[in-house]
């Protein structure tokens, strides 16, 4: 049977290649044999062109059936033999929420590999496992996967930093394309899964995310934010997309005209858009944009959202919204058809209508889940994402044949954390276990470096006891302190603590109930095989010191935004024996139990004792993935938890060969650690999945030379960052492209155990036209004595532009492997089109004539070689303000934001306050200008616009316009003022008094 299937697939592949080369796959399918088979319906016939099959099926569906296909949970249509279908399998860095599966490093770690080929392999492995789970649970696990995340990491405080691929759109675009291609598979027609890019657009803050607006002027929009999505969609690697929760310039993202105007019309072919969970109802509840759910559904569908994710599996509620919209003429059947027409092609391409004989992925089964092959790939990926931040005096690698002791210290040394979008770890290797595998057991000394405490109940006068079984309540009945009465107290900063019982080494938790037990192997969310999730964490406690010196425990239950559950629970002690610990929501401050703390072991002193006689001290620190930063929670600061910084300093004070292993979801500001002379090396890993400890130990002891690179800038302190809601990377001087300060570690930084020489940089031409490309070639030689990877990076810089351009901009990278004394030649193809910027005066990308630095090096700051390239593009013409000009197409500004012009149109300049201004530079006027006309709206009558030349405050005042009260910020009127003696070339400033909104202006 298998041979027959393989034969049929071989025939299909040969014929499909012929079709692809003659007609194109989008408009044609292929005959599976020379003998025509009779099909009940044309849409079942794989020999027909795809668009014909889609139209045939669409024509057979009733209106109710078509509407039913617009919810996340699409029901079966038995009369046509159509099975159910659903979107939303999570696959960020492994198949998630489905039980045990291969867990790869966090997504931000995938990008730190700077290895497209490897990440495509990872995506393919994840796609295989999703297919396997789909085969096991076809009703519950869909083939539409919600991954990867391509939101740009422009601020390291953003809660979902771990999910993204970096601060640079080129790197993010290339890594997301590779991951998507792996998820999709390599068949030219059938797809393994349907990759869905998240979250479109300008989403990089968690606080108030359901109602906040990201202000993106045209250059930030086109040169930065859109670019990260463009690569994967244009290449056809990604086949779906999810809008973000936030607004873009005042308009909710799932209503953005960019979805239709740019994504679907310019970039995509077979492609559908699926809303994020609860985002349709969010238009009513969070954005307060419309009053009814029918309006919300109608506006979303008309804007380009094809599948509505809301009300979980309760599709009937959402379908009623759509039917109400049809009844109220907010939608037409043609609107429904358009959305269904976007969804169906991808369902056909999953093979569901054609059967396993044609579907090349149909045979994938549970044997691939956490297979040996995938375990090896997880290890390779965990190794390649490691970044060596510091290595003074070649402190690393350590000698494996050392006879001395090695101290392993730290709160993350003996545990591996998964994160919000992880699968269940099938096994773990900790850093401690990894180190022990390299040395004899007696050579390794260990300390968690945290206080070990006992807690005595004020109510009972007895100590809190945990059970070795872990599944019964903690009680407060012990007369003395033994093993079962001691707990490791982990301080992750910002009043977030974990208690790990020594009775069974599990965490204290009040999961799902009032019962306080020690039954959690790792802090995390709860899950089942069908993917049902709980969004709260129940293991983290505020450890609140009272005035009398006692402590109370309060679990805030960090959770999901739409559960309706607010606040948390204090721990109390029952009044009857056995005196059980209970977490009750009704408890309030003053009624919570007070515990006297006894420090059984001082963690820092123990760590120093272990470290002082060791040859090397390895301190393992970092974040806990679900506490201070994750979905719904932004970071309060970018520093290490203060207790961890102090631990490192205490250890380094007694051991001059201290190695720091940092395991973190995001950058850490730690200049004191970097500058500490006794901290000889710092090795960084994201939370690395099941093979985390193996990879780290391999790097520490030289079995692997770390060569990953940072995908975002690491700052020295939060003071170097603007407000988290500042989305203008140009004016806010964000990311390596515009940051003028001194970084702790620059974008692209990463060391290794050998040295490389860059030489013989050459260009195929030193002068190119705007429609040509240049070949950039460089030789790289490993001049050390250790084999290693090297990541060669290509940057460009416009030496003299008419607008502010990036300090450097990544335009190529290649990870290569070199043996000692080996030389390899690396070649980049650089199209002149990649040097374009968005010309706001003409609303298009332009390649400006000029000279560009071609920079090749090891990071954005470590440039090894440079050449000049002249580009013959175009000269940017003087600006013509005698034509109607959109206010948002400014060259510079102060204070204003971009807002929604109207529900039916795009953008305007708003949130204006007195003293704000906008600039339109290099304007040229002919004689005869006599009138200044503006389109404005206001809710006040104090607005004034001054037109000044060459300076916003002291420049010549040409004319003044008074803005009347139009009784609404989207009630637009035209206002005119006379102009005299305006000619020549000028920078034009519009300066503002009062508050109002400006849409367009014109100098006639």
Q: What are phi and psi of 171, to 5 degrees?
A: -60, -50
Residues whose CB falls within 8 Å of the CB of residue 188, separated by 6 or more in sequence, listed in order: 16, 17, 20, 25
Q: What is the DSSP string of 355-380?
A: -TTT-TTTT--GGGTT-HHHHHHHHH
Please, which pLDDT band fits residue 4 given cuts at 50, 70 and 90?
Answer: very low
What does the alpha-carbon distance between residue 579 and residue 460 come to, in Å, rounded to a whole number? 8
The dihedrals phi and psi of 945, each to the nearest 5 degrees, come to: -115, 125
SS3 848: strand
Over its C-alpha atoms, the chain yields an Rg (Å, rounded) of 30
Do 541 and 554 touch, CB atoms closer than 8 A? yes
Q: Which residues contact 842 (CB under 8 A, 6 or more apart)?
A: none
Residue 564: is its pLDDT beyond 50? no
Band of pLDDT at residue 534, cut at 50, 70 and 90: low
pLDDT digits (tens, 9 = 90+) for 626-645: 999 999 999 999 999 999 99
Residue 687 contacts by C-beta under 8 Å, 6 or more apart in sequence?
A: 105, 106, 109, 162, 416, 417, 418, 419, 622, 625, 663, 664, 665
How many C-beta neighbours within 10 Å does residue 875 have?
Answer: 10
User: Does the pLDDT of residue 20 top 50, yes or no?
Assistant: no
User: How far apart (Å, rounded) are the C-alpha atoms in residues 504 and 487?
Assistant: 10
For residues 396 and 701, what is the distance between their CA atoms, to the nearest angstrom? 7
DSSP state of 784: S
Q: What letters, b where the CB count within 10 A reaches 16 and e where it falls short, cover 762-778? A: ebeeeebebeebbebeb
Q: Which of 592, 835, 652, 793 is nearest to 709 (CA)?
A: 793
Cα–Cα distance measured from residue 562 to residue 307, given in angstroms and rounded to the nearest whole number: 20
**What is the structure's pLDDT at 33?**
44
- Look at residue 566 and tell me whether its pLDDT is greater than 70: no
Q: Looking at the predicted structure, is the pLDDT value of residue 128 above 70?
A: yes
Residue predicted with more confidence, 559 or 224:
224
User: Is the pLDDT confidence value at 18 over 90?
Assistant: no
Spatial CA neighbour of 217 closest among 920, 950, 996: 920
- Look over the chain and give the mean of its residue pLDDT values, rounded to a whole number: 93
Which residues are tagged catalytic? Answer: 276
* pLDDT of 148: 98
d(CA 44, CA 493): 59
Counting residues of the chain whose pLDDT is more than 90, the rounded percentage is 90
Share of the chain above pLDDT 70, in %: 94
Q: Distance from CA of residue 189 to its chain's centroid?
A: 29
Q: Which of 529-543, 650-664, 973-987 has the highest mean pLDDT?
A: 650-664
Q: Is the pLDDT of residue 530 over 70?
A: no
Q: What is the pLDDT of residue 17?
A: 37
Give the DSSP H or E segment for 697: helix 692-700
**In the predicted structure, residue 783 carries a pLDDT above the cut 70:** yes
Asked if the model's pLDDT at residue 585 lies above 80, the reply is no
How far apart CA 305 and CA 303 sit, in angstroms, is: 6
- CB distance 539 to 507 below 8 Å: yes
Q: Which segments of 23-106 does DSSP mark as H helices, in order?
A: 50-60, 63-68
Summarize pLDDT for 909-939 with one digit per residue, the tens: 999 999 999 999 999 998 889 999 999 999 9
How far apart are alpha carbons 305 and 327 in whole angstroms? 20
Residue matched to tokens 């919209």: 325
> Which residue in 209, 277, 207, 200 sits closest to 629, CA to CA?
207
Tell me which residue of 245, 224, 96, 122 sits closest to 181, measured CA to CA. Answer: 122
What's the confidence (pLDDT) of residue 27? 38
User: What does 103-144 look like in DSSP terms, one character per residue?
Assistant: -PPPHHHHHHT--HHHHHHHHHHHHHHHHHHHHH-TTT--SE
8 Å CB contact between 575 and 476: no
Cα 701 to Cα 723: distance, rounded to the nearest angstrom: 41
Mean pLDDT of 843-870: 98
Determine phi and psi for 101, rounding to 5 degrees.
-155, 165
Pairing of strands 213-214, 144-146: unpaired
d(CA 470, CA 493): 26
What is the DSSP track for 749-781? --B-SS-EEEEEEEES-SEEETT-EEEEEEEEE
Tens digit of each residue's pLDDT (9 = 90 or more) over 23-73? 344 433 443 444 567 899 999 999 999 999 999 999 999 999 999 999 999
**Mean pLDDT on 695-718:** 98
Judged against a pLDDT cut of 80, whether residue 403 lies above it is answered with yes
The mean pLDDT value for 828-854 works out to 98
Cβ atoms of 665 and 161 closer than 8 Å: yes
Q: What is the mean pLDDT of residues 790-814?
A: 98
pLDDT of residue 536: 73
pLDDT at 1: 45
Element (H, E) at 925: strand 917-925
What is the model's pLDDT at position 589?
67
The residue behind tokens 């919570």 is 592
Question: Mapping DSSP to helix (H, G, I), strand (E, B) and coil, where does residue 538 land?
Answer: coil
Helix extents (H) in 217-267: 218-219, 226-234, 258
Structure tokens at 786: 């250790």
Q: How many other C-beta atoms are found inside a 10 Å radius of the C-beta of residue 720?
A: 17
Where does the pLDDT of residue 533 fall: very low under 50, low under 70, confident under 90, or very high at 90 and above?
A: very low
CA angle 648, 427, 529 (to 5 degrees): 120
Kindly report, residue by residue over 340-366, the tens digit of the pLDDT.
Answer: 999 999 999 999 999 999 999 999 999
What are the structure tokens assigned to 253, written together? 């993202």
Q: Would you call the peptide bond into 199 cis, given omega within 30 degrees of 0 as the criterion?
A: yes
Q: Count H helices and E strands in the chain, helices first.
A: 20, 48
Determine if the peptide bond prior to 744 is cis (ω within 30°): no
What is the 3-class SS of 606-664, one letter each residue?
Answer: HHHHHHHCCCEEEEEEECCCCCCCECCECCCCCECCHHHHHHHHHHHHHCCCEEEEEEC
Give ∠ CA 29-32-37 in degrees, rounded to 5: 105
What's the average model confidence in pLDDT over 219-231?
98
Model pTM score = 0.95
Residue 793 DSSP SS3: strand
476-513 tens-digit pLDDT: 999 999 999 999 999 999 999 999 999 999 999 987 67
Question: Which tokens sit at 566?
Answer: 């607010």
Q: Predicted confidence band at 905 (pLDDT cuts at 50, 70, 90)? A: confident
Partner residues linked to 454 by β-bridges: 598
pLDDT digits (tens, 9 = 90+) for 180-195: 999 999 999 999 999 9
Closest to 297 in 3D by CA, of 312, 281, 316: 281
In angstroms, what CA-CA distances link 401 with 405, 438, 441, 658? 11, 9, 13, 18
pLDDT at residue 23 in the model:
39
Check residue 513 and give its pLDDT.
72
């Amino acid at each position: 049977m298998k041979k027959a299937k393989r034969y049929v697939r071989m025939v299909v592949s040969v014929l499909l290649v012929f079709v692809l080369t003659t007609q194109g796959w989008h408009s044609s399918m292929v005959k599976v044999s020379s003998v025509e088979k009779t099909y009940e319906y044309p849409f079942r016939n794989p020999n027909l062109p795809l668009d014909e099959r889609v139209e045939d099926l669409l024509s057979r569906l009733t209106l109710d059936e078509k509407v039913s296909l617009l919810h996340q949970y699409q029901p079966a249509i038995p009369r046509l033999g159509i099975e159910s279908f659903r979107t939303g399998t999570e696959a960020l860095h492994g198949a998630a929420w489905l039980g045990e599966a291969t867990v790869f490093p966090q997504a931000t770690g995938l990008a730190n590999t700077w290895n497209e080929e490897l990440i495509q392999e990872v995506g393919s492995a994840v796609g295989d496992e999703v297919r396997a789970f789909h085969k096991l649970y076809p009703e519950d696990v869909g083939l539409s996967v919600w991954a990867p995340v391509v939101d740009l990491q422009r601020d390291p405080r953003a809660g979902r930093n771990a999910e993204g691929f970096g601060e640079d759109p080129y790197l993010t675009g290339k890594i997301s394309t590779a991951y998507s291609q792996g998820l999709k598979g390599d068949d030219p027609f059938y797809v393994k899964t349907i990759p869905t890019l998240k979250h479109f657009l300008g989403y990089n803050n968690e606080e108030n995310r359901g109602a906040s607006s990201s202000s993106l002027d045209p250059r930030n929009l086109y040169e930065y934010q859109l670019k990260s999505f463009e690569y994967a969609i244009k290449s056809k690697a990604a086949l779906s997309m999810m809008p973000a929760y936030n607004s873009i310039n005042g308009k909710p993202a799932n209503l953005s005209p960019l979805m239709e105007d740019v994504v679907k019309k310019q970039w995509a072919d077979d492609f559908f858009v699926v809303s994020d969970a609860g985002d349709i109802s969010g238009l009513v509840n969070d954005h307060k944009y419309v009053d009814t759910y029918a309006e919300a559904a109608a506006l979303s569908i008309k804007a380009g959202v094809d599948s509505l994710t809301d009300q979980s599996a309760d599709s009937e509620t959402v379908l009623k919204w759509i039917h109400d919209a049809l009844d109220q003429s907010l939608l037409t059947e043609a609107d429904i058809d358009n959305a269904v027409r976007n969804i169906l092609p991808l369902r056909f391409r999953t093979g569901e209508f054609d059967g396993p004989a044609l579907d090349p992925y149909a045979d994938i089964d549970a044997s691939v889940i956490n297979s040996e092959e995938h375990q090896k790939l997880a290890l390779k990926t965990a190794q390649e994402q490691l970044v060596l931040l510091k290595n003074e005096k070649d402190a690393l690698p350590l000698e494996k044949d050392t006879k001395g002791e090695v101290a392993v210290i730290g709160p993350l040394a003996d545990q591996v954390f998964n994160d919000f979008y992880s699968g269940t770890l099938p096994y773990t290797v900790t850093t401690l276990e990894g180190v022990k595998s390299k040395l004899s057991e007696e050579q390794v000394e260990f300390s968690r470096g945290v206080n070990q405490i006992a807690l005595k109940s004020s109510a009972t006068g007895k100590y809190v006891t945990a059970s070795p079984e872990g599944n019964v309540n903690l009680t407060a009945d012990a007369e003395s302190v033994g093993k079962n009465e001691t707990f490791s107290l982990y301080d992750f900063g910002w009043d977030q603590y974990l208690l790990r019982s020594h009775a069974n080494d599990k965490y204290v938790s009040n999961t799902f109930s009032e019962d306080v037990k020690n039954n959690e192997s790792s802090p995390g969310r709860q899950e089942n095989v069908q993917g049902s999730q709980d969004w709260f964490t129940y293991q983290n406690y505020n450890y609140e010191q009272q005035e009398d010196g006692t402590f109370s425990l309060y679990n805030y239950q960090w959770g999901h935004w739409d559960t309706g559950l607010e606040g948390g629970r204090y721990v109390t002690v029952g009044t009857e024996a056995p005196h059980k610990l209970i977490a009750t929501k009704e408890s309030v401050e003053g009624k919570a139990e007070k515990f006297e703390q006894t420090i059984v072991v001082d963690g820092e002193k123990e760590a120093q004792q272990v470290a002082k006689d060791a040859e090397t001290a390895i301190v393992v620190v970092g974040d806990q993935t679900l506490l201070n930063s994750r979905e719904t929670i932004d970071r309060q600061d970018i520093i290490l938890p203060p207790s961890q910084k102090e631990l490192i300093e205490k250890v380094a004070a007694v051991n001059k060969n201290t190695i720091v292993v940092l395991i973190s979801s995001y950058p850490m500001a730690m200049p004191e650690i970097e500058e500490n002379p006794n901290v000889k090396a710092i090795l960084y890993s994201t939370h690395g999945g099941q093979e985390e400890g193996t990879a780290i130990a391999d790097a520490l002891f030289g079995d692997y030379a770390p060569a990953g690179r940072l995908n975002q800038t690491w700052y020295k302190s939060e003071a170097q960052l603007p407000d988290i809601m500042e989305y203008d990377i140009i004016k806010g001087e964000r990311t390596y492209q515009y940051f003028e300060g001194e970084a702790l570690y620059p974008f692209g930084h990463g060391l290794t155990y050998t040295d490389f020489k860059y030489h013989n940089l050459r260009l195929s031409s030193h002068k190119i036209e705007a429609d040509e490309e240049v070949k950039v070639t460089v030789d790289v030689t490993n001049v050390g004595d250790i084999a290693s990877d090297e990541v060669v990076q290509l940057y460009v810089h416009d030496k003299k532009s008419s607008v502010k351009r990036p300090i450097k901009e990544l335009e190529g990278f290649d990870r290569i492997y070199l043996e000692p004394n080996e030389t390899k030649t690396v070649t980049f193809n650089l199209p002149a089109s990649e040097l374009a910027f968005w010309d706001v005066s003409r609303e298009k990308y332009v390649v400006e004539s000029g000279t560009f630095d071609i920079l090749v090096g090891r990071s954005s700051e470590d440039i090894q070689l440079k050449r000049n390239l002249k580009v013959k593009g175009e000269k940017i013409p003087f600006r013509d303000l005698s034509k109607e000009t959109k206010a948002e197409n400014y060259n510079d500004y102060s204070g204003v934001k971009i807002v929604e012009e109207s529900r039916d149109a795009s953008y305007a300049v708003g949130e204006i306050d007195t003293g704000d201004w906008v600039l339109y530079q290099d304007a040229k006027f002919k004689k005869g200008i006599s009138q200044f006309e503006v389109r404005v709206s206001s809710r006040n009558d104090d607005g004034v616009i001054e037109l000044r030349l060459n300076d916003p405050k002291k420049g010549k005042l040409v004319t003044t316009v008074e803005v009347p009260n139009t009784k609404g910020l989207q009630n637009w009127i035209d206002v005119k003022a006379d102009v005299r003696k305006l000619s020549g070339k000028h920078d034009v400033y519009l300066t503002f008094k009062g508050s109002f909104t400006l849409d367009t202006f014109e100098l006639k």
